[in-house]
Amino acid sequence: MKQAAMATSLSLSCSSPLLTRNTLFFTKTFSFSRSFSLSPPLSTKTLISQSPPRRTFAVRAESQNGVDPTGHYDFDLFTIGAGSGGVRASRFAANFGANAAICELPFSTISSDTTGGVGGTCVIRGCVPKKLLVYASKFSHEFEESNGFGWRYDSEPKHDWSSLIANKNAELQRLTGIYKNILKNSNVKLIEGRGKIVDPHTVDVDGKLYTAKHILVSVGGRPFIPDIPGKEYAIDSDAALDLPSKPEKIAIVGGGYIALEFAGIFNGLKSDVHVFIRQKQVLRGFDEEIRDFVAENMALRGIEFHTEESPVAITKAADGSLSLKTSKGTVDGFSHIMFATGRKPNTKNLGLESVGVKIAKDGSIEVDEYSQTSVPSIWAIGDATNRINLTPVALMEGVALTKTLFQNEPTKPDYRAVPAAVFSQPPIGGVGFTEEQAVEQDGDVDIYTANFRPLKATLSGLPDRVFMKLIVSAKTNEVLGLHMCGDDAPEIVQGFAVAIKAGLTKADFDATVGIHPTAAEEFVTMRTPTRKIRKSLDSQGKPDSEAKAVAGT
Amino acid sequence: MARKMLKDGEPDLNKGAEEGTNFDFDLFIIGAGSGGVRAARFSSNHGAKVAICELPFHPISSETIGGVGGTCVIRGCVPKKILVYGASYGGDLEDARNFGWELSENIDFNWKKLLQKKTDEINRLNGIYKRLLSNAGVKLFEGEGKIAGPHEVEVTQLDGTKLSYSAKHILIATGSRAQRPNIPGQELGITSDEALSLEEFPKRVVILGGGYIAVEFASIWRGMGANVNLVFRKELPLRGFDDEMRAVVARNLEGRGINLHPRTNLTQLIKTEDGIKVTTDHGEELIADVVLFATGRAPNSKRLNLEKAGVEVDKTGAIVVNEYSCTNIPSIWAVGDVTNRMNLTPVALMEASHFANTVFGGKTQKPDYRDIPYAVFSIPPLSVVGLSEEEAVEQTNGDLLVFTSTFNPMKNTISGRQEKTVMKIVVDAQTDKVLGASMCGPDAPEIVQGIAIALKCGATKAQFDSTVGIHPSAAEEFVTMRSVTRRVTGSAKPKTNL
């Protein structure tokens, strides 16, 4: 595999650092029409030819790089994009003794072709601000709960959106500062500007050229809004995290985790929330029972779901309110319409195609198991590669890459049993296979579920419930998957992820003593399978006797 | 029943029971708490004919008061956790402000309302436990049970009438009760039983004791707005826990406004017009509405007639049992707090299940006390599994690697709360095995449960490291501790900041 990749790149790496449209066409013909959707914007914007060759030469003369016949480069690793993956990789590279540089766009809470910020999506417009808003919005539920525990307020608690956003932004500024310091303290050279690859060993940052033995592309992804009439009135998650005022009535289009998290946030802050999903269920790809459970519980908290409705157009009324026309009808009176309809890798206008880096149809950079692109000196990690788009996965990929490159220890990231959470309200945590995946891959599985009213809810009187699920291989007794929806699910699942990653069995779970009274103890006290799924008829006889043994009662 | 040859120490289930004897029951259990109910249900499911007796229900226990559900349900884990929930809103309200919430000046906490709801919930659970027993076909007697012989139980019913039943096996699961110190005026103080059922909310509290019960009540009352003084004999609360974590808990309690009085004891309590005047051995005087003694619990073994039946009891009053929970009388067994092994509900459940499996399930099983996780529901809580650093130093000869992480939880970055979460992992440097894990911070008990499975199965630090984090969570810190905080060699004393 690696050798093949190298061979391809040899023919490509001879392309000159001075790019012309010819090279673009060259790659276009080479990439099995994958770049079909990508090349039109590239050629119309002609960003690549924007940096004048004169300037390039001037810089070159100054820094004496690239053409150095001794094979010396300015840097061992040049990283484009200082988000989770990029910062991790450059820090670790520097710690391993490499001379590392990283470039990043100027800071802004809204991302674009020209704005970004050290810390990346996670810190500036993803995990962190999202979780801060989740914390803020959860209080309203806690106030309600507290009534059941004897707390009374003279007047209903009111929420001031602008003070939350101000405090949130102050925290983001602090964090981006911390990330800059982390880079500085690790001796990683930080360059502000837009990085573009000009040849397999050269990156152009706003006209300045830097050569590097290895180039890492970790430019992440960005929200994507489909092209429908009136899309200019819609906001994406970047904007939703930094609105000047709180939405009174918001339509959220999409059924993925981002849609559900924002639905929870705005619902908690007492906006009128409508979620429009194309399918019957939310959270495609998640365990079916979890999908049903979370939607049911969110609806109980006041979110209105419009299922099997696709957005068609947005119109703005004279009073400024927005209407969403869908495949089923029109809903009026929205102050905001948010699209959470997916994210796209930020791979445009990076010079990737022109140096021969293969790009997939979805815009993601194609990489092998070591995160190497089709050009051997160019590597890519994180959302730009669209593998599993999670911060800790980008971190894992970053660490693995630096071990491969600078520790002489070729390391593949291990994508087995990666736990994940959705910070909806109630939240979801899960690790390993869904029931559907387990049945498909393992055939014979035992399913253990618990659906209960937690102690807190019996006192608060609120209709909150918790759902838990274990998926166990009938053949090996190994726990293949664990899922939960309910309070603290993300915190609870982390420890179990260690157990599942280590390949532990249901017997190991049973041998563990519970912590009482917690919700988590339920995972080690599930005695009787809720159902047994058998693919082969052969094994169908056995289970019943096994069932009694498992039940142990 | 034909049996294979007994292994060393394995219980002989037929010893003592004359062949062909007809008993009223296969199993008679005294005490319907966590252990007793579990043993009754599981034994019954194994086909045994089971009876259980329990004292009449009341929130405050005595020689003649108890209730189906036992300490855990009526005056322990459950009501305690309810009050902890209630108290934690106090901190939440403070935290909410910087998240943009404008709260009215007057926020009122109604203790009576919470108490009423707590009592309703306890009554509901008491009913559920009774149903669990009847659904399992277990015969429930209300009254005080005593051992009348190796196969004989006498139950004194509420009206004074006495019933006598024979049983092939007798299980004692009578639990334990809070103790009071022997100081002048001790009758003015209360124990945790009464503390869970106080008529009036105490605005000024003095708590004597440094164990988990003392710490939990300090957090409960402080969270509801009381002025709390916590008096304990040692330098730090929570003796037996990891020293470093004890210091964290002490710091957090102080941070939440609890007045700590380390190396202090109480000498006397005097009733005054203004409240109870409490004097310490340092000569300090405190005025309190309520003085709580959280100075330990003693097994409920006194009125069982054990001496006459010849059942061995240790100095603390705990029933002496072997690894299978069998007393020195082969037909008499004991589980739970009355045996004073590890006084936790899930441990009593484990002992009871293993008892039922051993005696009636044809599966000889010893409870395994390794790597049992547990929690202190202070605010914020502490949870641990495996060895403390001190225990690890003692029990292993090899090197230890200690990983600690002290961080500001994300919520606090906005709320402004000055309280760090601390996590700690103790690793055997030779084998890479994780010997102990502890955490003090929000959600610690929920987080540690999963970690406990990994420890129980001998997971290595490398396996922790290979697990991907859940971001952003506090728990992910457990799988992202990269640099060793310190290395401790077998002989050296652990270097903590104590």
Our count of domains for chain B comes to 3
User: Would A3 be classed as within a structural domain?
Assistant: no
User: Would A377 be classed as within a structural domain?
Assistant: yes
Contact B102 A514 (CB under 8 A): no
Q: Residue A246 sits in which domain range?
A: 226-340
Q: How far is CA A473 from CA A242, A437, A438, in A?
A: 45, 12, 8
The per-residue pLDDT for A544 is: 40
Q: How many cross-chain Cβ pairs, A to B, lie less than 8 Å apart?
A: 275
B345 interaction partners in chain A (CB closer than 8 Å): 516
**Spatial distance between the Cα atoms of A323 and A306, rounded to a whole number of angstroms:** 14
Q: How far is CA A46 from CA A194, A349, B12, in A?
A: 15, 9, 88
Contact A504 B414 (CB under 8 A): no
The last residue of one of the domains, among A387, A407, A427, is A407
A135 interaction partners in chain B (CB closer than 8 Å): 99, 410-411, 414
The alpha-carbon gap from A21 to the nearest alpha carbon of chain B, in Å, equals: 42
The alpha-carbon gap from B102 to the nearest alpha carbon of chain A, in Å, equals: 5
**Spatial distance between the Cα atoms of A468 and A458, rounded to a whole number of angstroms:** 18
Q: Which amino acid is at A368?
A: D
Do residue B143 and residue B69 come from a single domain?
Answer: yes
Do residue A212 and residue A99 come from a single domain?
Answer: yes
Do residue B419 and residue B331 come from a single domain?
Answer: no
Contact B106 A168 (CB under 8 A): no
Contact B410 A132 (CB under 8 A): yes
The last residue of one of the domains, among B275, B294, B313, is B294
The per-residue pLDDT for A540 is: 46
- Consecutive sets of 10 residues in chain A, 553 residues long: mean pLDDT of each? 36 33 31 32 34 38 44 94 98 97 96 94 96 98 96 94 97 95 97 97 97 98 96 97 97 98 98 97 97 98 97 97 97 98 96 97 97 98 97 97 97 97 98 96 94 96 97 97 98 97 96 96 96 72 37 28
Nearest to A458 among B93, B121, B456 (CB): B121
Do residue A350 and residue A208 come from a single domain?
Answer: yes
Nearest to B457 among A132, A502, A519 (CB): A502
Binding residues of B: 81, 145, 174-176, 209-216, 296, 337
Nearest to A520 among B121, B353, B450 (CB): B450
Q: Which residues contact B111 (CB under 8 A, 6 or more apart)?
A: A150, B198, B200, B201, B224
User: Would B34 be classed as within a structural domain?
Assistant: yes
Contact B101 A160 (CB under 8 A): yes
ipTM of the complex: 0.93
The residues of B carrying an active-site annotation are: 471
Is A509:A448 a contact under the CB 8 Å cutoff? no
B112 interaction partners in chain A (CB closer than 8 Å): 150
Q: Collect the ranges in chain B with pLDDT lower than 50.
A: 1-6, 16, 497-498
Do residue B173 and residue B303 come from a single domain?
Answer: yes
The last residue of one of the domains, among B361, B386, B409, is B361
| Mutant choice from A498, A500, A504, A527 vs B, greatest count of B C-beta within 10 A | A498
The alpha-carbon gap from A283 to the nearest alpha carbon of chain B, in Å, equals: 18
Helices (H), B324-458: 345-359, 389-395, 410-415, 444-456
Do residue A130 and residue A112 come from a single domain?
Answer: yes
The alpha-carbon gap from A420 to the nearest alpha carbon of chain B, in Å, equals: 6
Q: Which residues contact A113 (CB under 8 A, 6 or more apart)?
A: A194, A348, A349
User: Cα dihedral sign for B436, B442, B445, B450?
Assistant: negative
Do residue B243 and residue B305 come from a single domain?
Answer: no
User: Would A239 be classed as within a structural domain?
Assistant: yes
User: Would A443 be classed as within a structural domain?
Assistant: yes
Contact B109 A151 (CB under 8 A): yes
Contact A164 B111 (CB under 8 A): no
Nearest to B383 among A414, A511, A515 (CB): A515
Do residue B477 and residue B391 come from a single domain?
Answer: yes
Nearest to A135 among B99, B105, B106 (CB): B99
- Cβ neighbourhood burial of A72 (10 Å; 0-12, 13-18, 19+): exposed
Do residue A450 and residue A437 come from a single domain?
Answer: yes
User: Would B104 be classed as within a structural domain?
Assistant: no
Query: What is residue A372's DSSP assignment?
Result: B
Contact A491 B375 (CB under 8 A): no
A547 interaction partners in chain B (CB closer than 8 Å): none
The alpha-carbon gap from B324 to the nearest alpha carbon of chain A, in Å, equals: 16
B124 interaction partners in chain A (CB closer than 8 Å): 458
The per-residue pLDDT for B398 is: 73
Nearest to B463 among A148, A494, A502 (CB): A502
User: Would B312 be classed as within a structural domain?
Assistant: yes
CATH number for the domain that contains residue A271: 3.50.50.60
CATH number for the domain that contains residue B480: 3.30.390.30
Contact B449 A524 (CB under 8 A): yes
Do residue A376 and residue A452 come from a single domain?
Answer: no
Our count of domains for chain A comes to 3
A511 interaction partners in chain B (CB closer than 8 Å): 368, 456
CATH number for the domain that contains residue B65: 3.50.50.60
Contact A501 B466 (CB under 8 A): yes
User: Would A489 be classed as within a structural domain?
Assistant: yes
The alpha-carbon gap from B267 to the nearest alpha carbon of chain A, in Å, equals: 35
User: Cα dihedral sign for A49, A53, A54, A59?
Assistant: positive
Q: Which residue of B has its CA nearest to A155?
A: B104
Do residue B35 and residue B171 come from a single domain?
Answer: yes
The alpha-carbon gap from B233 to the nearest alpha carbon of chain A, in Å, equals: 28
Q: Residue B127 sits in which domain range?
A: 25-75+113-178+298-361
Q: Which residue of A has its CA nearest to B82?
A: A456
Binding residues of B for FAD: 81, 145, 174-176, 337
The residues of A carrying an active-site annotation are: 516
**Other beta carbons within 10 Å of B183:** 17
B93 interaction partners in chain A (CB closer than 8 Å): 146, 151
Contact A488 B414 (CB under 8 A): no
Q: How far is CA A236 from CA A109, A232, A240, A260, B33, in A?
A: 12, 11, 6, 13, 55
Do residue B336 and residue B480 come from a single domain?
Answer: no
User: Would B495 be classed as within a structural domain?
Assistant: no
Do residue B306 and residue B282 come from a single domain?
Answer: no
Contact A150 B443 (CB under 8 A): no
Q: Which residue of A has its CA nearest to B365?
A: A511
B468 interaction partners in chain A (CB closer than 8 Å): 390, 392-393, 396, 417-419, 497, 501
Contact A392 B468 (CB under 8 A): yes
A501 interaction partners in chain B (CB closer than 8 Å): 463, 466-468
Binding residues of A: 131, 195, 254-261, 342, 383
B372 interaction partners in chain A (CB closer than 8 Å): 513
User: Would B414 be classed as within a structural domain?
Assistant: yes
Do residue B244 and residue B338 come from a single domain?
Answer: no
The last residue of one of the domains, among A291, A319, A340, is A340
Contact B464 A139 (CB under 8 A): no
User: Would A512 be classed as within a structural domain?
Assistant: yes
Do residue B157 and residue B302 come from a single domain?
Answer: yes
Is B243:B236 a contact under the CB 8 Å cutoff? yes
User: Would B261 be classed as within a structural domain?
Assistant: yes
User: Would A256 be classed as within a structural domain?
Assistant: yes
Do residue B161 and residue B214 come from a single domain?
Answer: no
Of A81, A89, A11, A94, whose CA–CA distance to A374 is shortest? A11
- Secondary structure (DSSP) of A46-105: T-TTTS-HHHHHHHHHHHT-SS-TT---SEEEEEE--SHHHHHHHHHHHHTT--EEEEEP
User: Would A168 be classed as within a structural domain?
Assistant: yes
The per-residue pLDDT for B12 is: 63
The per-residue pLDDT for A62 is: 38
Of B114, B27, B12, B491, whose CA–CA distance to A145 is shortest? B114
The alpha-carbon gap from A511 to the nearest alpha carbon of chain B, in Å, equals: 8
